[in-house]
Amino acid sequence: MYKVVIIDDEPIIVEGLSRAVDWSRWDCKVAGFAYNGREGLEVIRRERPNILISDIRMPEIDGLTMVAALKSEFPYMQISILTGYRDFEYAQKAIKLGVSRFLLKPSKLDELEEAIAAMKKKLDDAVRVHPELIADGPADEPGDDTGPDNDAELDDSPASSFIVHNAIEYIKEHYADKLRLSDVADEIYVSQWHLSKLINKHTGSNFSEILNGIRIEKAKQLLKDPALKIYDIAEQVGFSDLTHFSRVFKKIEGISANEYRNRI
């Protein structure tokens, strides 16, 4: 049996989809549901569904980033979007990220059933190669590879590229904060272990190296101002300790911050 999760901030739609569709017809069962994106992500990670039917415009969540996160972390999950948001370009982006169907509310039952049939066919094809896709049970512990949901899908996935781009943009905006990998992962809806693997595969660097690189580039700009003290610059770019800043600066640039300032 394929597991299904339904997410929508309108309870009547969640209830309707759960009851109106004869899920057994497609060898499916509704394993969970949620009324907002954050709660939905928790349900998905707990249940590890094969099929997701979700609204994409919900409070407190970026729908495209959520889709990218799920397709990156669970590449074989089939996703259909059911939404009242009529924007062709938005729909195109969602489909590029791996959405199977983009359905507009109110959607007719036959349209929904066609989407379910299409998702089931894709799953049937995948299961022939990866029968573990329908294995029931709890999610793996953080850091474990999850059968087909692992490195093989990380390199060229549009969803993975989208996630890494968003992660680096977030780091650039918040480099001066006491930023942790888990903070960035929370912002783009993936686990920190998965984000760590993605960043390494796409950039060849780890989170700390990227963060320090951005901070040192900002420091180099500030060093052009002779009125700024080096310890003030270190603090402005996110280092709470001057010794740590000096060590990182020399490691990246090959010279001290003071030498760099004298050269420019």
> Beta strands 51-54 and 2-7: pairing type?
parallel
Question: Residue 200 falls within a domain, yes or no?
Answer: no
Q: Decide: 218 and 237 in contact? Cβ < 8 Å.
A: yes
Question: Residue 134 falls within a domain, yes or no?
Answer: yes
Integer Cα distance of 171 and 215 in angstroms? 10
Quickly count helices (H) and strands (E) in the chain: 12, 5
Domain that holds residue 224: 209-263
Integer Cα distance of 183 and 199 in angstroms? 14
Alpha-carbon distances of 6 from 43, 76, 79, 191, rounded to whole Å? 10, 17, 10, 21
User: Looking at residue 72, which CATH number applies to its domain?
Assistant: 3.40.50.2300
Question: Residue 192 falls within a domain, yes or no?
Answer: no
Last residue in a domain, options 142, 158, 174: 142
- Tell whether 25 and 109 lie within a shared domain: yes
Question: Residue 227 falls within a domain, yes or no?
Answer: yes
Q: What is the mean pLDDT of residues 39-63?
A: 88
Last residue in a domain, options 118, 142, 166: 142
Integer Cα distance of 119 and 114 in angstroms? 9
Q: How many domains does the chain have?
A: 2
Q: Decide: 148 and 209 in contact? Cβ < 8 Å.
A: no
Q: Identify the bridge partners of residue 30 per DSSP, sorted by sequence position.
A: 4
- How confident is residue 146, by pLDDT bands cut at 50, 70 and 90? low
- Tell whether 230 and 137 lie within a shared domain: no
- Tell whether 7 and 122 lie within a shared domain: yes
User: Looking at residue 248, which CATH number applies to its domain?
Assistant: 1.10.10.60
Residue 73: both structure tokens together: 């972390």
Question: Residue 131 falls within a domain, yes or no?
Answer: yes
pLDDT in tens, 154-207: 556 889 999 999 999 999 999 999 999 999 999 999 989 999 999 999 999 999
pLDDT in tens, 55-112: 888 877 888 888 999 999 899 999 999 888 777 888 888 888 889 998 888 788 889 9
Res 134: pLDDT: 66
Last residue in a domain, options 142, 166, 190: 142
Res 254: pLDDT: 96
Question: Residue 92 falls within a domain, yes or no?
Answer: yes
Res 105: pLDDT: 84
- Tell whether 135 and 214 lie within a shared domain: no
Res 89: pLDDT: 83
Question: Residue 32 falls within a domain, yes or no?
Answer: yes
Question: Residue 24 falls within a domain, yes or no?
Answer: yes
Integer Cα distance of 143 and 156 in angstroms? 21
Q: Decide: 31 and 5 in contact? Cβ < 8 Å.
A: yes
- How confident is residue 264, by pLDDT bands cut at 50, 70 and 90? confident
Q: Is 212 helix (H, G, I), strand (E, B) or coil?
A: helix
- Tell whether 218 and 104 lie within a shared domain: no
